[in-house]
Amino acid sequence: MPYRIFVAVGLAAALATRCPGAEPPVDFSRDVLPILSENCFLCHGPDAAARKADLRLDVRESALRADDPIVEPGNSEESELFLRLVTDDVDDKMPPRKSGKTLTPAQVETLARWIDQGAKWGKHWAFETPTRPEPPAVGADLPVRNPIDRFVLARLEREGLKPASEADKTALVRRVTLDLNGVPPTVAEIDAFLADDRPDAYERLVDRLLASPRYGETMATEWLDAARYADTNGYQNDFARTMWPWRDWVVAAFNRNMPFDRFAVEQLAGDKLPGATLSQKVATGFNRNNRTVTEAGSIDEEYRIENAVDRVETTSAVFLGLTMGCARCHDHKYDPITQDEFYEFLGFFNDVNEKGVYTETRGNVPPLIAVPTDAQRDRLASLDAAVAEAEAALKQAESGLDAEQAEWEASTRTRELPAEPADHARRFELAGSLPEGATFRGQGGPNWVDGPTGKALALDGGPGSVVDLGPGGDLKRDEPFAIALWVRPLADGACVSKMDDANGFRGYDVSVTEGGKLTLHLIHAWPADAIKVKTKALLPRNPWARVAVSYDGSGKASGVNMYVDGRPVGTEAEADSLQGDSTTGQPTRIGGRSTGLLLRGELADVRIFSRALAPEEVAAAYERAVLGIARAPEPERTAVGKALLARFFRERVDGSTPPLAERLAALKKEKADFEAAVPTVMIMEDAPEPRPLHPLKRGLYDQPDESVALTAGVPACLPPLPSGVAPDRLALAEWIVAPENPLTARVTVNRVWLRHFGEGLVKSAENFGIQGEPPSNPDLLDWLATEFVRGGWDLKALHRLIVTSATYRQASPVSADLVALDPENRLLARGPRFRLDAETVRDNALAIAGLLSSRLGGPSVKPYQPAGLWEELAGGAGEGPYVQDHGADLYRRSLYVYRKRTVPHPVVATFDAPSREICLVKRARTNTPLQALELLNDVVYVEAARGLAARMLAEGGSAAEDRVVFGFRTAVGRAPNQRERRVLLAGLESRLEAFRADPEAARALIAQGESPAPADVDPVELAAYAATAGVILNLDETITLE
Amino acid sequence: MDQLQIAQEMNRRLFLRGAGLGLGSMALGSLMGPAAVAGDAAAGTAGLGADAGLPGLPHFAPRAKRVIYLFQSGAPSQLDLLDYKPAIRERRGIDLPDSIRMGQRITTMTSGQKSFPVAPSIFKFAQHGQSGAWISELLPHTAKVVDDLCIIRSMQTDAINHDPAVTFIQTGSQLAGRPSMGAWIAYGLGSMNQDLPTFVVMLSRGRTDQPLYDRLWGSGFLPTRYQGVKLRGGKEPVLYLTNPSGCPPRLRRRQLDDLGELNALRHEEVGDPEILTRVAQYELAYRMQSSVPELTDLASEPKSVLDLYGPDVHKPGSYAANCLLARRLAERGVRFIQLYHMGWDQHGDLPNQIRAQCRDTDQASAALLIDLKQRGLLDDTLIVWGGEFGRTVYSQGALTATNYGRDHHPRCFTVWLAGGGIKPGVVHGETDDFSYNVVKDPVDVFDLNATILHLLGIDHERLTYKFQGREFRLTDIAGKVAKPLLA
């Protein structure tokens, strides 16, 4: 074997899983596939379009093809595959130079050995359903608490390493409390655990923590990252939305220990479960958490597709650990997922009953559902009952009224009609024809419709929809006048006018403005020299009204009176400064002014008087008009007239029903207002008609390949959907949690492991595909996955299993040698030690300070945030400035902090919390000076330090040393050693001295934050302790789980 | 993972962490000097301002050491500023010919319009400098430095709305999740200074409220330490930079000393090198507390320099003040300096709004160039000026004698480059008579980004980061260096 090169592997010998020189079997999935994938698949892999030389190395049939096979099983030196790797000929050498890829000698050696051993192909390990491995036997002297330890210890034995001893009880109680509940143990809880010498004291502690509501809050955080949950829609103006009811569903599901398979099914397809409950529908908010576009000008289909793609990427990453998004534009380069299969998977999300763009829409967008609290539900039920009762009462009162009205109508025929003023200067009946000399300025002739007493003029408000009545008819400041008319306004506009818009609006109009207010303008030059009077109330919602405006010629707004349906109504003056002349050369017009304020609506019987009208005259005229209808024979009445008559009888004659109608209207309004205050949540719901499903060329929304019709489905490299089941979201959800699905359980237990140890068994928690990292302990991963499924997907049991293992309970201190050998603790020869996640950094400090609120759930909160952060980016375009909360909401757990996607809150973003724009299953963990600045100077931490100081003084005893020990223990669990005490006490002494010399500074320091400092403590002492507590809160140990 | 891979991985980590481990035995005092921080830079877990960059980078000799990106957010109208189109004056008010539009998509803000009347710019253009480039009267200061500019009139993008378009030009993807250009460069090249961030962002408000998003300077899937640090106008330029009231510097120094000592004691006990990194980060934070205020204090700038940038330079947070700060950041070794100026989104009332926008920006943009040149810094500083797309030749809304609006237009827009490695006094590319389609030398967003990386000595195809099993790059799977732009 001339080409074989053995390499000194130095340090790694300790990690080796085989002895150099021996010929252990090569495993295709573990040893060969990663090499081929990384170096060869770009050109010889699953992507048909990019494939070179029609050769693919991911399937045996292609490499062993009859024509020109490139592998000769059993003989590497006869195999083209091997020869191409080792040749010196630059043209033949693989991988080609320009690929930038090179195999290491050891990788070449592995491939050679694999060929020599028969070149057995296999499946990628993660695509094979796991089989339950037997926990290996390990030395009797080794600490085994449960099967996890056997897998870990067997690996350590192979590496020649010994596990660390068990952590002391103080370290354990802090570690597991922070880990499971996201808050530190109190000193009293630590002491109680130390005093508990029952053999199962630790297990009891774990059970208590798993039963705490804090558990659900703590577990929710990482799920919210995966589900890209936030409080805003994430694009452009980034409007607020209300998804927190879904977030509360997640917390409750964790706390109730909902089995993970159920948890998955309800979130993916709860709406499709038979008899879906409100809670199951709320659960589907999972796949509505994606960003949604409201930017004006965006194209609907483009973002409908992006929404569906986001759901494919999120669902495949969270549950399957697959990067399906890579197959959107072409076949996947590494994993056996074709582009068609990507769109088949997208088919599960193709029918959601939504638009891609909701232009400039604030708040939740459909489909959505109201999520009332229990109290709200009760209130709604009682409002429903009250509305029904009021409706019944009105109906009851209505019955028989028609007969009474008929009697009354008959009686009117024998009575004399009231007199009406007959001295009008001009009258335009508008009852089916225009007055002589009048011109309609619009297209065609005017439209005539039924009015109260006959025909009426209908205007559409469009260009030219105005009647020009010719010259004459000026109204003047010093001459009284009155105008009465029937109007049915459909939008604001002028009823009658004689006005020159271009000349300071000189003239007059009677118009409807501000959505229904009767208005009179009398103008010389607007606005400085004018009268403007309008009604306070809108015209009645009943369609037709007889309105009248009367002016006494006084030159004052107070000289204007207005009437609706014969009765005076309240008015207000907006301008009252008319001095000049209001005559113009413009004609009198119906339906508009000289250029604007075109009325959309109907008009009839306009009368203009050259004197003011008295209230009784207006009332009499109205009554006369209505009674005229009553006296007309039935066939001569219009529908409008009949409605008017019925209303007149009920309101002015009978009088029994208006209070009932008012009551009903008030109740309906109350109900509508209440419903508007009930939060909604966005949910999944499919459209009645399925949408066609096609692959999109190059992944572009406007390039569907309509020659290919697809149905929803799952990739062929994974088990099939059960036959006979409609391929919908519910089928997908059940397939995801089927026991034979090779990925879901592995991916899930890996994430749980990641949370407890700071790194997963598979480091690439987001990718279990061929390019993912192989598991550090494959048997342990498979045992945990099968155990998880066997136990009914019981998450609390899984956490309990892991945290009660000897592996987890190891002490975390590490020697320099072990750091060098295993810097990331993949071998687990020591306990976990890593920085707390962003939310826990803050929650931990608040808890240590005694400030943390324990309130569960509800709308997200806005704690302290530096001024101007939102305005700098959006100028308040999305939702205005950040309005900080006060009181307990300043100290809620950080999972409740308002998540604005385009401007993440620095208190969590600085410590690596993601912006939640897209799904994220594993956070980075960085260590930056911005974190230092935040912990030192953010008001929340300055206030927390003072909170801890107050506790040191109140609860820590009377001696300085006892107080310092109490503060230290509150933060990190253990007591400080002698050297640490000396540093802390000397520091405290120096600060006491400094603040004694500068008591102003002391008062300023303890005034930070909105919670009050204790009044009965010397500010100098409190400040000195606060500055010392600040040191404690900034310790690496305080923000670290160890 | 086979034996050798493991060995290599271990060796790499050992190498990376070696310096960090070595710190454990050093006296605490030495942690505060620059030497210790340089060592920490090699530790790889260090934060901003202390990264050494990737081994092997730059790939070749860079022409620019740093970038100042003057991003004009909202999309300035190329037709009214830099892409002179005299031929359409005759066609004023006619409908845009179908032969020009060719059915290309337009936004739903104008797709319902009954007509697309051609709106020639009402502004006067003239030729300037040796190069004779046509510049609008709106940019009198830019016109004076035109011989230093390389004007690209043939830029193109894929997106037609702000959010995806700005995200695309800054991250190479229309959707959220990818690292920004500054983050890529910080990751690849590392820092050139000891006490300031590598990648700094400054925002200024324009005439309309056009939102921006943190993701535009985010690190995407790169470690968060590569994200841009926002430098804000006002008394706290970096978030939480200032000690709380009641905490004078001496008190803070003593706190940090105690903290450092306690952390070192803990490191002796538990051995985790991360603790030493944290100590170093606290010291860097402490240094930033003096380096940042020194940076933002313009008192030492002579009046002649302040006058160069115009009167707005005295308003913290204005574009002019940010331009001057950009120069100061460049002098102090900050690698990537990104300005965003908002307010270019002129759908209606364009003539009035763009006049004001230009008044706010023209002088300071030109002043920055002149100032850098005077100091010899322009040779190795690349300046980029431009927005996320162009604007339409047809009027959005009514076209009147004095007024018009313009909708978003992705098919062509104008950007200028200047400084390190750029050929000066050049106009590159050409659009048709309607400034609608590129007819010569198109440069797309990937090409521009590839070119920027090239000038920094980076082969855009080789600056990659493996995420979800795939090697990602700023230029995705595209991008050609625009060679004609290079000096």
Q: Does A451 touch chain B (CB under 8 A)?
A: no
Cβ separation of B108 and A813 shorter than 8 Å? no
Distance CA A269, CA A271 (A): 5
CA distance B429 to B104: 21
Question: Residue B192: CA atoms inside 13 Å, Cβ hemisphere, count?
Answer: 17
- For residue A202, the model assigns a pLDDT of 98
Pair (A491, A465) in one structural domain:
yes
- Of all residues in chain B, the one with the smallest CA distance to A297 is B108
Q: Where residue A577 sits, what CATH number does that domain have?
A: 2.60.120.200
The model's pTM is 0.81
A772 touches chain B (CB under 8 A): yes
Containing H/E element for A954? Answer: helix A939-955
Q: What is the DSSP string of A573-603?
A: EEEE---S----SSPPEES--SSS---EEEE
Q: Which of A122, A140, A160 is the last residue of a domain?
A: A122
Q: Would residue A268 count as lying in a domain?
A: no
Name the residue among A57, A709, A713, A47 with its Cα closest to residue A329.
Answer: A47
Which of A93, A122, A151 delimits the end of a domain? A122
Q: Do A631 and A669 belong to one domain?
A: yes
Q: Decide if A114 contacts A71 (C-beta within 8 A).
A: no
User: Least CB-CB distance to B211: which of A236, A326, A819?
Assistant: A236
Placement of tokens 């008819």 in the chain: A473
pLDDT over 70 for what percent of chain A? Answer: 97
Mean pLDDT score of chain A: 92
Asked if the Cβ–Cβ distance from B469 to A772 is below 8 Å, we say yes
A710: three-class secondary structure by DSSP? coil
Roughly what angle, to the nearest 10 degrees, separates helices A778-790 and A744-757? 110
Contact yes or no for A33/B469 (Cβ under 8 A): no
**Nearest of B107, B54, B32 to residue B405 by alpha carbon:** B107
Q: Read off the pLDDT of each residue in A748-768 and give the average, rounded to a whole number.
A: 96
Question: If you measure CA to CA, which chain B residue comes closest to A939?
Answer: B244
The residue type found at A364 is N
Contact residues, chain A, for B215 at CB < 8 Å: 902, 915, 917
Contact B245 A774 (CB under 8 A): no
Please name which of B255, B277, B276, B252 lies closest in space to residue B264, comparing C-alpha atoms.
Answer: B276
Report yes or no on A14 lying in a domain. Answer: yes
CB contact under 8 A, B203 and A872: yes
Interchain contact A821–B (C-beta under 8 A): yes
Angle between helices A978-997 and A960-972 in degrees, nearest 10: 110
Q: Do A296 and B108 touch (CB under 8 A)?
A: yes
Taking contacts as CB-CB distances below 8 angstroms, the residues of chain B near A1001 are 245-248, 251
Residues B299, B300, B302, B308: what is their CA dihedral angle, to the nearest 10 degrees? Answer: -70
Rg (chain A; Cα; Å): 40
| Closest Cα in chain B to A928 | B47
Q: Which regions of chain B are under pLDDT 70?
A: 1-50, 209
A1042 to A471, A796, B377: CA distances (angstroms): 94, 21, 49
Going by C-alpha positions, the residue among A369, A364, A354, A359 that lies closest to residue A231 is A364
Tell me if A792 sits within 8 A of A746, measured CB to CB: no
- Contact between chains at B232 and A868 (C-beta distance less than 8 A): yes
Per CB-CB distance under 8 Å, the chain A contacts of B37 are none
Least confident of A392-396, A684-688, A879-883, B280-284: A879-883
Nearest one of A290, A240, A318, A223 to B175, comparing CA atoms: A290
| Helix (H) / strand (E) containing B324 | helix B319-331
What would the pLDDT profile of A666-688 be if each residue is shown by its tens digit? 999 999 999 988 999 999 999 99
Is residue B291 a contact partner of residue A833, using CB atoms and an 8 Å limit? no
Please answer whether residues A63 and A71 qualify as being in contact, where contact means their C-beta atoms are separated by less than 8 angstroms: yes
CA distance A229 to A247: 8
Interface test with B, best of A305, A1036, A1041, A1042 (most B CBs within 10 A): A1036
**Cβ-defined contact of B213 to A1004 (cutoff 8 Å):** no
What does DSSP say about strands A680-682 and A368-370: parallel, antiparallel, or unpaired?
antiparallel
**pLDDT value at A11 more than 80:** no
* Final residue belonging to a domain, choices A560, A577, A612: A612
Kindly state whether A930 is in contact with chain B, defined as any CB-CB distance less than 8 angstroms: yes
Dihedral sign from CA coordinates of B217, B218, B219, B225: positive
Q: H helices within A77-200, ranges in order?
A: 80-86, 105-116, 147-159, 169-181, 187-195
Q: Mind listing the pLDDT tens digit for each residue in A967-995?
A: 999 999 999 999 999 999 999 999 999 99
- Going by DSSP bridges, is the β-strand pair B426-428/B149-156 parallel, antiparallel, or unpaired? parallel
Interface predicted TM-score of the whole assembly (ipTM), two decimals:
0.81
- Asked if omega into A133 is within 30° of 0 (cis), the reply is no
In a domain, A20, yes or no: yes
Q: Is residue B202 within 8 Å of residue B231, measured between CB atoms?
A: yes
Please answer whether residues B46 and B280 qualify as being in contact, where contact means their C-beta atoms are separated by less than 8 angstroms: yes
Rounded CA-CA distance B224/B218 in Å is: 8
Any CB–CB contact under 8 A between A356 and chain B? no
Furthest-apart CA atoms within chain B: distance in Å: 83
Q: What is the pLDDT of residues A46-75, one digit of tens each?
A: 888 888 888 888 888 888 888 888 899 999
Minimal Cβ distance to B4: which of A9, A874, A939: A9
Domain identity same for A449 and A583: yes
Give B-chain residues touching A924 at CB under 8 angstroms: 223-224
Q: A985: distance to nearest CA of chain B, Å?
A: 10
Position A656 in a domain:
yes
Closest residue by Cα to residue B51 from B181, B293, B237, B224: B224
Residue range B207-263, pLDDT digits in tens? 776 788 889 999 998 877 898 999 998 888 999 999 999 999 999 999 999 999 999
Residue A597 and residue A457 in one domain: yes
Backbone φ and ψ for A479, nearest 5 degrees, come out as -125, 130
Q: Are A12 and A159 in contact (CB under 8 A)?
A: no
Of B205, B240, B408, the CB nearest to A297: B408
pLDDT at A738 over 80: yes
B107: nearest CA partner in chain A: A297
Q: Tell me: the pLDDT tens digits for A134-151? A: 999 999 999 999 999 999
User: What pLDDT, on a 0 to 100 scale, did the predictor assign at position B467?
Assistant: 84
Q: How far is A683 from chain B (nearest CA, A)?
A: 23
Q: Which two tokens stand for residue A411?
A: 């009686």
**Contacts B389 to A, Cβ<8 Å:** none
H-helix or E-strand spanning residue A447: strand A447-450
Helix or strand or coil: residue B26?
Answer: coil
Kindly state whether A964 is in contact with chain B, defined as any CB-CB distance less than 8 angstroms. no
Q: Which residues contact B77 (CB under 8 A, 6 or more apart)?
A: B121, B344, B346, B350, B354, B390, B391, B406
CB B477 within 8 A of CB B450: no
Gap between the Cα atoms of A778 and A763, Å rounded:
12
The verdict on residue A46 lying in a domain is yes
Q: How many CB pairs under 8 A join A and B?
A: 313
Q: Could you give the number of structural domains in chain A?
A: 4
Judge whether A579 is closer than 8 Å to chain B, CB to CB.
no
Classify residue A651: in a domain, yes or no. yes
Searching chain B, which residue's CA lies closest to the CA of residue A1042? B270
- Cis peptide upstream of residue A367 (ω within 30 degrees of 0): yes
HEC states along A274-334?
A: CCCCHHHHHHHHHHHCCCEECCCCCCHHHHHHHHHHHHHHHHHHHHHCCCHHHHCCCCCCC
Whether A452 and A404 share a structural domain: no
Domain-embedded: residue A557: yes
Domain residue limits at A458:
426-612
Is residue A873 domain-resident?
no
> Which residues on B lie below 8 Å from A770 (Cβ)?
469
What confidence tens digit (pLDDT) does each residue in A854-867 have?
Answer: 999 999 999 999 99
Which tokens belong to B266?
Answer: 């803990």
Of B21, B269, B285, the CB nearest to A929: B285
How far apart are alpha carbons A507 and A588 in whole angstroms? Answer: 10
Q: How far is CA A489 from the centre of its chain?
A: 41
Q: Which of B226, B239, B283 to mutate to test the interface with A (most CBs of A within 10 A)?
A: B239
Residue B204: in which H helix or E strand, if any?
Answer: strand B199-204
List the CATH number of the domain containing A113.
Answer: 1.10.760
A1035/B277 CB distance under 8 A: no
CATH number for the domain whose boundaries are B51-251+301-485: 3.40.720
> Which of A296, A909, A915 has the CB atom closest to B109's CB atom?
A296
Does position A349 have pLDDT exceeding 50, yes or no?
yes
Q: Closest Cα of chain B to A1035: distance in Å?
A: 6
How far apart CA A927 and CA A947 sit, in angstroms, is 26
Asked if A602 and A631 sit in the same domain, the reply is: no
| Helical H segments across A182-287, by residue range | 187-195, 201-211, 213-226, 244-255, 260-269, 278-283
Residues A569, A431 share a domain? yes
Q: How far is B241 from chain A (nearest CA, A)?
A: 6
Name the helix (H) or strand (E) containing A493.
Answer: strand A493-500
Q: What is the pLDDT of residues A189-228, one digit of tens each?
A: 999 999 999 999 999 999 999 999 999 999 999 999 999 9
Query: What backbone torsions phi and psi does residue A423 show, to the nearest 5 degrees?
Result: -95, 35
**Is B212 close to A874, i.e. CB distance below 8 A?**
yes
Q: How far is A577 from chain B (nearest CA, A)?
A: 34
A37 and A16 in a common domain: yes
Compute the distance between CA of residue A392 and CA of residue B134 in angstroms, rounded to an integer. 79
Shortest distance, CA B259 to any CA of chain A (angstroms): 6
In whole angstroms, what is the distance from residue B2 CA to residue A30 CA?
Answer: 9
Average pLDDT over residues A374-391: 94
Phi and psi at A86, nearest 5°, equal: -110, -5
**CA separation (Å) from B487 to A843, B68, B129, B426, B427?**
55, 18, 18, 10, 13
CB contact under 8 A, B274 and A835: yes
Within its chain, how far is the Cα of A848 from the centroid? 31
φ/ψ of A192, rounded to 5, equals: -65, -40
Does A488 lie in the same domain as A525? Answer: yes
CB contact under 8 A, B176 and A939: no
Q: Measured between beta carbons, which residues in chain A are less than 8 angstroms from residue B258?
A: 983-984, 987, 1031
Question: Position of tokens 């939740």?
Answer: A364
Q: What residues does A458 pair with on adjacent strands?
A: A447, A602
Q: Which residues of B touch A1008 (CB under 8 A)?
A: 244-246
Chain B contact for A728 (CB, 8 A cutoff): no
What's the Rg (C-alpha) of chain B?
24
Residue ranges per structural domain of chain B:
51-251+301-485
Is A900 in CB contact (< 8 Å) with chain B?
Answer: no
Structure tokens at A24: 């252990």
Same-domain status, A600 and A665: no
Q: Is A301 on the interface with B (CB under 8 A)?
A: no
CB contact under 8 A, B109 and A235: no
Q: Which chain A residues have a beta carbon less than 8 Å from that of B273? A: 819, 823
Greatest C-alpha distance within chain A: 128
The chain B residue lying nearest A1030, using CA atoms, is B255
